[in-house]
Amino acid sequence: MHEIGFAWLEITGKCQLLCEHCYPASGPDGTHGTMRSEDWRRVVDQLAERGVGMVQFIGGEPTLHPDLPTLAGHALDQGLRVEIFSNLVHVPTAVWEVLERPGVSLATSYYSDDPAEHAAITRRPSHARTRTNIAEAVRRKIPIRAGVVDVREGQRSAAAQQELITLGVPEIGTDRLRQVGRGVRDQQPDASQLCGRCASGVIAISPDGEVWPCVFSRWLPIGNVLETALAEILDSPEAERVRSELRLEFTERQTTLPEAGKKPCDPQCGPSCGPACNPSCWPTGTGPCSPKGGCQPNYD
């Protein structure tokens, strides 16, 4: 039986923003997909039965899904810890109430201390609202982490990190551009865009029920929960084939690059990524690259 400890639940492709590097290419024209709330609850039940410890509700922008509070509450009732990954442009009252429940944490992305640069990356004037809601989460003592993604040459990423520190955010990760979705520049999505840890211990599920090794590996579907039980998908020959191919790719990458063994999360990680196994893909202590993880999973 293939063991997993963490699952991304991509409950919507809808988002207020149009971030220039968004890996699912979500935006205002996105939809909640074909997964209904009862489908998501069934998936949560199956994840709990599988021994998964934590789920992350992600998008798109998960707060735009009307059933997010109910789904998060169901996950908590099943004994799972919950993280909500939001752009924090707008937080409905019902979501604040969920975020204040024990076992729930919050994650967001941040790009610059300069509102104009931040807006240029998100393609909407979002900086002030995101900053205000980060401060509100800190005020409410909600566990929160933030990721700063290097998207542009000369981006004020270091200043963004400093602003987050000033706001009181206790955990700040960094990431490079992942060339998937709108992030594609001069490469095509392939294993070189992955952190090297998605072949073990994690799983992602899309708004249409597709199952991937992680949210970035969207070209590698291993099944669909609308057609097959999650346990059957995880233990299927196709899933093992994909995991084996990824493990081989990551092993070869680590053994052929000069930095092999120094940055186990991402052998292609450059000096800007930092020494402590940054960037971080999942909450501290839950991923196989603890304490900092492997890749920043949401750019919206």
- Number of C-beta neighbours around residue 261 at 10 A: 10
Helix, coil or strand: residue 115: helix
Give the Cα separation of 179 and 203 in Å (integer).
Answer: 20
Phi, psi of 81 (to 5 degrees): -80, 155
Q: What is the pLDDT of residue 166?
A: 97
Helix, coil or strand: residue 106: strand
Residues paired with 171 in a beta bridge: 145
Q: How many CB atoms lie within 10 A of CB 139?
A: 10
Query: E-strand spans in 18-115?
Result: 54-58, 81-85, 104-110
DSSP type of residue 177: P
Residue 101 makes CB contacts below 8 A (sequence gap 6+) with 73, 76
Tell me what pLDDT residue 254 has.
Answer: 62
The pTM is what?
Answer: 0.84
Name which of 100, 10, 120 is nearest 55 in CA terms: 10
Strands 201-205 and 4-10: parallel
pLDDT at 188: 66
pLDDT of amino acid 72: 98
Split the chain (300 residues) into runs of 10 and give each run's mean pLDDT: 89 93 85 98 97 95 98 98 97 98 96 95 94 98 93 91 97 77 62 67 94 84 96 93 81 58 41 35 39 42
Q: What is the pLDDT of residue 300?
A: 39
